[in-house]
Each structure stands twice: as structure tokens, then as C-alpha cells.
Amino acid sequence: MNWRSILRTDAPAAVLLVRLAVGFTFMVAGSSKLRDLSSTSGFFEGIGFPAPAELAAMVGTFELLGGMLVLLGLFTRIAVLPLIVIMIMAILSTKIPTLVGGPFGPFAAPRGPNTGLAAFLTASRLDFSMLMTTVFLLITGAGPTSVDAKLVQRR
């Protein structure tokens, strides 16, 4: 594995703003899940995930640690990979059932009465934004104000 190519970034310094938004959002989401694992587990069970208690702890941990790494700009391209998977699964498991108005594959029907395109668009706006910004960081890297950039400079 070529660490230099993973850590290297040509992104402008302004990418720090994206890192701050992504890192903060995931840290808050992860710490919230970990603070109330029983509610998170119940939510995951209600939408059809197997091993909901273990999944709740894993997702909360990945979000908290991934958010911290993104904030620091440390191993950013690696840190965003599980966050991208989490966002894709959130959209598939909770937002697509809202769009179709019923169960989607193994995932349960939406909990509220609001379904259809308008409800889907409203419910998925944060998930979509987080997915796009994490993909952006995967492509661009963390920028010059990151630990990644400092590590590449030292080598």
C-alpha cells in the first residue's frame, strides 16, 4: 500500500470547512448513538437490521471516531469509507421505504404517515449532503491544513 498516495491532497485550504462540517456532524451523531445505545438498538431492530445492539455500538463508534479523524484530517480517505457505507445504508433502510411508501427489501415500512417523493426529499436531505461531502473528501483528500498533509511533507 502506498501511504503517500492515500494521504496526498491537492485540495485547497477551504476544504477545511467541509472537514469541519462532516467531522462535527458525525461526531455528534456517533456520540448520540453511543450515549443511548438501547434506543439506537431499538431503532435498528425496528427497521429490520440483524444484531441491532452490536450494530448500534459499531455504527456509533465508526461515526464518532471517523468524525474525529476527519476533523483532524488524519487518514481522511480511509476514515470516510465506513462513513460512506453508513450513509448509503441509512438512505436504503430509512429513506427509500419513505419514497416507496412501504417496505424496501429487508427494511420495514416507514414509521410515519408521510410517504412519497416530497417526504423522501425532505427526509433525505441531510443524508444526501453527508454522503456527497464524504465522497468529496474521498476524492480530494483533507487539504493542506490537515495532519495528512503534514505527514506527506515529512516523508
> Residue 151 contacts by C-beta under 8 Å, 6 or more apart in sequence?
3, 7
Predicted pLDDT of residue 155 = 64
The secondary structure element, H or E, covering residue 46 is: helix 37-47
Q: Report the helix count and the strand count for the chain, using DSSP H and E.
A: 8, 0
Gap between the Cα atoms of 37 and 52, Å rounded: 10
Predicted pLDDT of residue 130 = 98
pLDDT in tens, 78-106: 999 999 999 999 999 999 999 999 999 99
pLDDT in tens, 100-152: 999 999 998 877 788 999 999 999 999 999 999 999 999 999 999 999 999 98
Q: What percent of the chain has pLDDT over 70?
A: 99
Predicted pLDDT of residue 84 = 98
